[in-house]
Structure 1
Amino acid sequence: MALNSPLQDDSIHQAPLEIVSKLLSENTNLTTQDHESIIVAIAPLLENNHPPPDLCEFFCKHCRERPRSMVVIEVFTPVVQRILKHNMDFGKCPRLRLFTQEYILALNELNAGMEVVKKFIHSMHGPTGQCPHPRVLPNLVAVCLAAIYSCYEEFINSRDNSPSLKEIRNGCQQQCDRKPNLPLRLLHTSPDLVSQEATLSESRLKSVIVTSNEIHVEVERNNTANQKMTANVGNDSEPNLIDCLMVSPTCSTMSIELSAQADRILGCYVEILKMLSDYDDWRPALASLLQPIPFPKEALAHEKFTKELKYVIQRFAEDPRQEVHSCLLSVRAGKDGWFQLYSPGGVACDDDGELFASMVRVCNNVHILMGSCYKTKKFLLSLAENKLGPCMLLALRGNQTMVEILCLMLEYNIIDNNDTQLQIISTLESTDVGKRMYEQLCDRQRELKELQRKGGPTRLTLPSKSTDADLARLLSSGSFGNLENLSLAFTNVTSACAEHLIKLPSLKQLNLWSTQFGDAGLRLLSEHLTMLQVLNLCETPVTDAGLLALSSMKSLCSLNMNSTKLSADTYEDLKAKLPNLKEVDVRYTEAW
């Protein structure tokens, strides 16, 4: 009757489902055959409607008890597909999420196992390069996160077993005379614990999901090692970093054991995360969803989990898109991200820093990741402060990315301590690639000293149509230590010339009118030319992404952003952060 009614209303189909749901809750002694008959009978009603909560419980039970039933494939598949495509918030209907979890686990119990799951994920994505359903990925990720959390729930509930915050900070390498691990109870809760868990579930979830500030991945050096290192270099010097790297932590690795069932569930859902990371169109959103590290700290202390998840992080690191690999960094300042977790000494590092080097390199070009950090010098300072030792060790082993990092630290004068500088130089000279790059650095430094030597003109204008190569050739021809005013207006220079402009120590006025100078170059200028007073960006392709970096140029008095992609919000932000700004041109922009 409901299917044949000409009336159009959600309740026409929903009411019969509610009736069936109520009858099932009142009749708990039905046979398996009865279960399947009922499911087949109500299947047409589920084509355009989500199952109510009690019916979801009934479906979950059937998936657990008869995962190989044909009903799971023939009836539940379109229901779950509809849930993943149209559900907006699992928080309002958690049993839909539980049903989806149990359905995927039932697929994994079939003979083909993960191959069936993989085909299901592919059917949700579709055959084209772009998934047409924007809700599928966030819903799948929500299901995966909830399932992974459930694997560690018993471990979390057992306070004696849950790793302390100190252990997480120490890379989970101290056991502190803990009691033996208790076996994990997963999903199938005993009746006497159901009410207790329901009461505490929300508070537990909030307390154990990792926020970035809970994870400090630096390995704490023990007192003996510290005394030994400081004795070698004196009280006023930094510890010998190479020696520090060679000191193994004097603590055993903590072991987290899961039951066989929990292990299967964990393996299934981590594999799904791997599958999701293989789709190019899903990878940016997936990286963004995983950037806050939305896993319990117990999972990060579990070697199997972090080892399997490394594939996903590697996929992010290999992606050339800034929106993807920038998600390896922390959500905001003061928080740790995947970059820290998988760096040497981090909670998840098990490969002597190979993934760390890959994250820094990003497609064999260290400057790409640095560009995504917006401030190259700031990024190098952070590495020098927190990860200099691991960088030096990897460079010592011939890692080209780390060799380039150390050379950049020397070139930008990141390291103040003379002993540390000498140690970096020794590290570079210990390998062929390091020796070659250090020699190239020395050549550049000699050219830089010649360029910055006092003398030469105070004003310089390049002819129109000059290129980056022309500018580089001109600046290499003599001394420009006195150059204060440089006009590149109506030339063909691009952001690539910024690396030459930042070497002009006295530059106060720079005219880039009608050039192809963009955001990347602007970020580099704002980092190094902090004494610049006049800047003309009229008719350049700069956007808010680069213009925001100008807030660090506190000496700016005159700024021309005429005919750029400046927004009103960015303009207000710049006015608030540049106290000396007196002349501003924002004509033909959104801020005009």
Structure 2
Amino acid sequence: MNFLSHWFFKMPSFSQDKKVDMNSNENDALNNEVKDEANGTIQEKYISSDKTLDSDSTPPGLNADQRLAFALRDFLGSSNTVLSDEASEGEPSPSAMEKNLPFIDEFVDPEVAMQSDEEIPQCRETEEVLNNAACRLRRWRAASRKLRRPRIINNLCSTDEKESNINKLCNGGHTDLADRLRSLAAVGNMSASAGELLSLAPPPPAATAPPSPGCLLSPTLAEQNSEYFGSSPECCADNAGQESSAAGAPVPPPGPRYKLATEGALRVCCFQHTRTVVDKILAAKFLRRWETHVLRLEENHIVSKTPAGLLESPLSYSCMQEVYCISRWDPARKYCLRIVMPHGSLLLQANDAYTRDQWYHSIIWRRNIIRYRNFLTKTVRKEVVLKELKNMVDFVMTTPLQDESVTRAPLLILTDLISENKESADWEEWAENLTNVAAPLLAERCATGELCASLARLCRQRPRAAPLPALAPPVRRVLTRNVDFARAPNARRLVRDYISALSAHNSGSSLVRRFVEVTHGNRAACPYPRAAPNLAAVALAALDDFFRNSSKEHECNDAEEEVLCFVDILEHMCEYEDWLVVVGAVLQPVPLCSGALNCPRVASRLGNVLYALVRDSRCAAHSCVAPARAARLYPPSWLRAAAPSDPLLAIPNKQLCQLWGDMLGALLNCCCKRKSFLQSMSKQLPDFVIVALCEHKAALDALCLMLEWEVASGEQTQLEIIAALQGTNSGQKSYSELCDRQKNLQRLQAKGGPRRLALPMHTTDADVTALLEQGSLGNLECLSLAFTSVTSACAQDLIKLPSLRYLNLWATKFGDTGLQLIAEHLTELQVLNLCETPVSDKGIEALSGLSNLRRLNLNSTKLSAEAFEVLRDRLPQLQEYDIRYTEAW
């Protein structure tokens, strides 16, 4: 018998990328097969050597197998023993050994693999053996941590401090190392060729599969360096701001990702032999006939669409003993997947490595999910269920499958576990333990509606003892991913009850603030556009549910404490610039019922929100307090809800007048159409008068503009405005200034003066004001301010020229604010030149009100194509336009 056949009959083969189940009973057979030769030859060659093993260091009371494994561990621990003749003092740890051994995974020429034993130096053979041992150590170290069945090396623990440190460095012992070392010892006793040594090398990364779920590393929540608000709710202020996923949670191995395989064409070959004989046949490049089947992965078994031949009956997942990829094989027979059955083996051959690995991970997934489902639903002992649930969570977190069905199955199992026996007395404690164990899964996967309902119930029943650190990731996931709470009411309920549980703690106010900060993130703008509207919607819905049926005569009670945190959330959200606009949009019009507005504690917090809106310079923020439609009285705007004459907001009168005046001033000073706004607010003239009597400057200016622009119609109304202005010292001063302006305006608009006027280049806004105050310009039809230094501030003087038909603002700093004012007052304008001005779509869209406009120059402005199309549709008389060097060109 040649050496190759002797090799495969004398030792078990680890040439394939084999995912070994350490709990299998076949390990005993492998141990017995190697024991005879290994005990004799290896002990004779290495154990008897003084350089390799110190007989005094071997613990007493070990059997033959244990002494052999202990000796082999020492042999591989000191690499200088075999590779050189120098003695080594001390016993290096396996971690140090791996650093010195290279990683063998390269292609070897077949001619080199067939060289004779005498052509390869002995030292290189031994070095390659040790290198392959290091490869196996790296590949299966994670699998050795979770073995349940005691192995030979488990009994080698010593009380010696040095040996204890070595075991500590090995991350849990040499559980699967003993079997590998026996095989390597048999190889070391022979003169192995390079080709045979490569048969022990690990497969390429594409064919590598993760260990079975029973062998996965699964750190506890206490060991994870996660961002679950710390071990208690009070710790959220320290741990918030990190990423939502736990840093210590299991992650998928590096490499490609796959979808769950459901159907595909594969070649099938079956062997009715023992495992060792199959390895021999595969290595000898001999196979039986192959059949092509279209396989379909169903929930409990694998079936063929043409049930005949080798797959006449379905292949059940429960009958599979092992499933692993075969990487080193005949090039003509590659990309194979091996399924070990009780009475033989089944080979599945794919067209490429990716398809093979996809089917491998899919079969492993189906097989283990069935095992987890059966075990978790039938086991009575709760501690066993928690342990197995942890293993399932680790398996889900490390699988390279990325598919919706893959994420759904474990959550359904968790839902069934947490939903059973809800009426029992210890359900809250049981649900809390399950939630803590499944925290990594909840952080990475969207919870189902039923699971959200169970978690929300846990928060309601035990608000101060709920597992808030474990619930924080799914809550933030709901806020950042949900698009419609109407279809997910349980998800909204979970967020609401979670916030209520936060506020129930002693440091509830700081926890709620920190929760908002964590949800926003530590960036200038929140990366999740759905987070702000979802959080605001949850807060408003909670307030509406609580105050919906309350009476108009409000009475404060302790029950309101549980909903005040939701008003605090709206207030905290206004601290971020990007969320302030979102809050304003959600609050327009008033979305709260009268019962909530009548509560003083709620109203005071809402007042802070309104103050934050009106103090913002952006129109998108402060314009949210104005009525969307003047003709619609319900739902009201905030100007109507905070009206001093008939307030809906329960705020003291002095603060209410100040708030209403600030809202009015923000709207008057922005770039909105002030004349149209005052006309829409004419029905609230009593509110203007009340605030003006408090000497608020915004209300005084508004009453003066009503008189100046003749917004207030009727002599009686004008007399009321004049009386209100003369009622205070500030009002009298404003009214006297108005009278002076009216006199100048009458003189300015008197007939006379030039018809055309062009100002020099150095003209400023002050020069325009001084010029228009000197004489009558009622006949002025054409005004050129091209290349001057005027800005939008001069629009206040330009709107006093009612006969103006032609206006040239070429190369000035005239912006959107002045353009909107002109569009509102100079309705007879026919020609407008805005070439090289900083106007944008916001001001250009206001020109749609100039129905008489015939010529328009927008060359080199910030005009967009969409705004220009809208402008053309609304200006039917526009004959000439210049839009060169714009986006609309």
Fold shared, TM-score > 0.5 on shorter chain? yes
Query: For 2:713 and 2:493, how far apart are their aligned partners in 1?
Result: 56
Q: Counterpart in 1 of 2:8?
A: none
Query: For 1:297 and 1:324, how far apart are their aligned partners in 2?
Result: 24
Q: Counterpart in 1 of 2:885?
A: 588
Query: For 1:46 and 1:389, how far apart are their aligned partners in 2?
Result: 56
Spell out, residue by residue over 1:150-169, the C-alpha distance to the aligned partner (whole angstroms, 9 max, x if none): 2135x2xxxxx7xxxxxxxx
Of residues 794, 816, 828, the one that matches 1:519 is 816
Q: Counterpart in 2 of 1:106?
A: 501
Query: For 2:711 and 2:766, how far apart are their aligned partners in 1?
Result: 28
- Tell me the amino acid that sits aligned with residue 641 of structure 2: L
| Secondary structure of residue in 2 paired with 1:282 | helix
Q: Counterpart in 2 of 1:173?
A: none
Query: For 2:626 and 2:768, how far apart are their aligned partners in 1?
Result: 35
Pair 580,92 (structure 1): closer, same or farther in 2 beyond 3 Å:
same
Pair 585,353 (structure 1): closer, same or farther in 2 beyond 3 Å:
farther
Q: Counterpart in 2 of 1:454?
A: 751
Of residues 103, 124, 127, the one that matches 2:519 is 124
Q: Does 1:95 align with 2:490?
A: yes
Deviation at 1:562, TM superposition (A): 2.3
Query: For 1:380 and 1:437, how far apart are their aligned partners in 2?
Result: 18
- Tell me the amino acid that sits aligned with residue 433 of structure 1: S
Pair 373,333 (structure 1): closer, same or farther in 2 beyond 3 Å:
farther
Count of residue pairs the alignment pairs up: 489
> Where do 1:178-189 residues align within 5 Å?
none
Q: Counterpart in 2 of 1:245?
A: none
Q: Does 1:417 align with 2:708?
A: no
Q: Does 1:374 align with 2:672?
A: yes
Higher relative contact order (CA 8 A, sep 6+): 1
Query: For 1:258 and 1:434, how far apart are their aligned partners in 2?
Result: 40
| Secondary structure of residue in 2 paired with 1:510 | strand
**Contact 1:512 1:538 (8 Å CA) reproduced:** yes
Deviation at 1:486, TM superposition (A): 0.8
Query: For 2:650 and 2:418, how far apart are their aligned partners in 1?
Result: 50
Query: For 2:700 and 2:715, how far apart are their aligned partners in 1?
Result: 19
Query: For 2:854 and 2:689, how far apart are their aligned partners in 1?
Result: 42
Q: Does 1:392 align with 2:689?
A: yes
Deviation at 1:552, TM superposition (A): 1.9
Q: Does 1:331 align with 2:632?
A: no
Query: For 2:442 and 2:806, how far apart are their aligned partners in 1?
Result: 69
Q: Counterpart in 1 of 2:868?
A: 571
Spell out, residue by residue over 1:480-505, the C-alpha distance to the aligned partner (whole angstroms, 9 max, x if none): 12111111111111111111111112
- Tell me the amino acid that sits aligned with residue 881 of structure 2: V
- Tell me the amino acid that sits aligned with residue 585 of structure 2: S
Spell out, residue by residue over 1:372-427, the C-alpha distance to the aligned partner (whole angstroms, 9 max, x if none): 462111112222x2111121122223222211211121222222322322332222
Q: Counterpart in 2 of 1:348?
A: 649
| Secondary structure of residue in 2 paired with 1:490 | coil
> Where do 1:293-304 residues align within 5 Å?
293-296=590-593, 298-300=595-597
Query: For 2:650 and 2:782, how far apart are their aligned partners in 1?
Result: 49
Query: For 1:324 and 1:353, how far apart are their aligned partners in 2?
Result: 24
- Tell me the amino acid that sits aligned with residue 376 of structure 1: R
Deviation at 1:342, TM superposition (A): 1.1
Query: For 2:802 and 2:870, how far apart are their aligned partners in 1?
Result: 27
Q: Counterpart in 1 of 2:401?
A: 8
Spell out, residue by residue over 1:266-304, the C-alpha distance to the aligned partner (whole angstroms, 9 max, x if none): 222112212212333321111112213333455446565
Q: Does 1:483 align with 2:776?
A: no
Pair 462,9 (structure 1): closer, same or farther in 2 beyond 3 Å:
same
Q: Counterpart in 2 of 1:57?
A: 453
Segments of 5+ residues of structure 1 without an aligned counterpart are 156-160, 162-180, 182-253
TM-score, length basis structure 1: 0.76
| Secondary structure of residue in 1 paired with 2:881 | strand
Query: For 1:371 and 1:400, how far apart are their aligned partners in 2?
Result: 12
> Where do 1:269-280 residues align within 5 Å?
269-280=566-577
TM-score, length basis structure 2: 0.52
Deviation at 1:454, TM superposition (A): 1.8
Q: Counterpart in 1 of 2:229?
A: none
- Percent of aligned pairs sharing the same letter: 42
| Secondary structure of residue in 1 paired with 2:832 | strand
Q: Counterpart in 1 of 2:540?
A: 145
Q: Counterpart in 1 of 2:769?
A: 472
Deviation at 1:128, TM superposition (A): 4.7
Deviation at 1:122, TM superposition (A): 2.3
**Contact 2:657 2:694 (8 Å CA) reproduced:** no
Query: For 2:514 and 2:414, how far apart are their aligned partners in 1?
Result: 32
Segments of 5+ residues of structure 2 without an aligned counterpart are 1-212, 214-391
Pair 314,355 (structure 1): closer, same or farther in 2 beyond 3 Å:
farther
Query: For 2:875 and 2:588, how far apart are their aligned partners in 1?
Result: 32
Pair 354,450 (structure 1): closer, same or farther in 2 beyond 3 Å:
farther
Query: For 1:101 and 1:329, how far apart are their aligned partners in 2?
Result: 30
> Where do 1:50-89 residues align within 5 Å?
50-69=446-465, 72-89=467-484
Query: For 2:887 and 2:520, how far apart are their aligned partners in 1?
Result: 38
Q: Counterpart in 1 of 2:563?
A: 266
- Tell me the amino acid that sits aligned with residue 341 of structure 1: A
Q: Counterpart in 2 of 1:292?
A: 589
**Contact 2:725 2:735 (8 Å CA) reproduced:** yes
Q: Counterpart in 1 of 2:789?
A: 492
Query: For 2:472 and 2:877, how far apart are their aligned partners in 1?
Result: 64
> Where do 1:181-200 residues align within 5 Å?
none
Q: Counterpart in 2 of 1:46?
A: 442
| Secondary structure of residue in 1 paired with 2:577 | coil
**Contact 2:625 2:638 (8 Å CA) reproduced:** yes
- Tell me the amino acid that sits aligned with residue 115 of structure 1: S
Q: Does 1:538 align with 2:839?
A: no
Q: Counterpart in 2 of 1:167?
A: none
**Contact 2:599 2:650 (8 Å CA) reproduced:** no
**Contact 1:151 1:258 (8 Å CA) reproduced:** no
Query: For 2:698 and 2:654, how far apart are their aligned partners in 1?
Result: 11
